[in-house]
Structure 1
Amino acid sequence: MSQRTARLKFPLAVDQGLGRLREEPNPDAYIEQLIRQVILTGPGERVHRPDFGGGLRRQVFALNSFAGAALAETSVYQSLDRWLGALIRVERVEATPRDATLDVSITYVVLQRGVRRYLNVEVGV
């Protein structure tokens, strides 16, 4: 009898029509979902991985200044490099404070295809 090993890919999604796990068919959207998962997860939120995440949502409650934005840039860059370094190469991270939000622009290259992509994330209270 052959055993089949289940392989889960993150982030998880459920296909509502079929009631089973769904995989993202678009590779660019899949990478964007992974990036959002890494940068928006705060350290300590994930079981058995207390150091996972960039903690970008916590930066909104920190000092909303250019110094705080520089800290957010460093945190995002380091977390993406650590957790997704096998999939992407981060070229640039820019964070701009604006009222009660933090705008983050990420430029990265998908290593498998060598394609440069851009992602803008707005994090607010």
Structure 2
Amino acid sequence: MTWFSFPYRTSAAGTTAEADRDQQIRDMIEQVLFTRRGERLNRPEFGAGLHEMVFSENTPEIAAAVQHMVQGALQQWLVEVIELRGVRVEAVDSQLRVTVVYSRLGDDELRRAVVEGAI
């Protein structure tokens, strides 16, 4: 079965871009993480709030706060898609690495999504 890409976009052929189920879920995770709160008109509470941390000092305390924000957002918005098994946030120099461990609902196979960015 083929799934739509998230966020919705068109392919080079002008049709709806498609993805396999694992890629679609990873795209959904990234969409939650990178959407600013208040960015969506009809869902202002959507997102993890990571952009609020961009100019924060990169410390273990900030990493713990980000871990809490990410875990809460994923549990709120993707509960019908994944079972969240863990979130690990590492602060290394000016980089923040977020590792999300999850399984698809109905499947016990553990998967990881790693997102990195400057803070």
**TM-score band, normalised by the shorter chain?**
0.7 to 0.9
Aligned mates of 1:69, 1:124 — CA distance in 2: 12
Tell me whether 1:20 sits opposite 2:20 in the alignment: no
RMSD: 1.6
User: Partner of 1:89: helix, strand, or coil?
Assistant: strand
How far apart are residue 98 of structure 1 and its match? 1.6
Aligned mates of 2:72, 2:101 — CA distance in 1: 14
The letter of the residue matching 1:11 is P
Contact 1:60 1:102 in 2 (8 A): no
Aligned to 2:107: 113
Aligned to 2:51: 57
Equivalent runs, 1:1-125 vs 2, <5 Å: 10-17=6-13, 19-24=14-19, 26-125=20-119
Aligned mates of 2:73, 2:109 — CA distance in 1: 21
The letter of the residue matching 2:71 is Y
How far apart are residue 9 of structure 1 and its match? 7.0
Aligned mates of 1:62, 1:44 — CA distance in 2: 20
Larger Rg: 1
How far apart are residue 68 of structure 1 and its match? 0.4
State which drifts further: 27-36 or 55-64.
Answer: 55-64
Q: Which runs of 5+ in 1 are unaligned?
A: 1-7
Contact 1:56 1:72 in 2 (8 A): yes
- When normalised by structure 2's length, the TM-score is 0.88
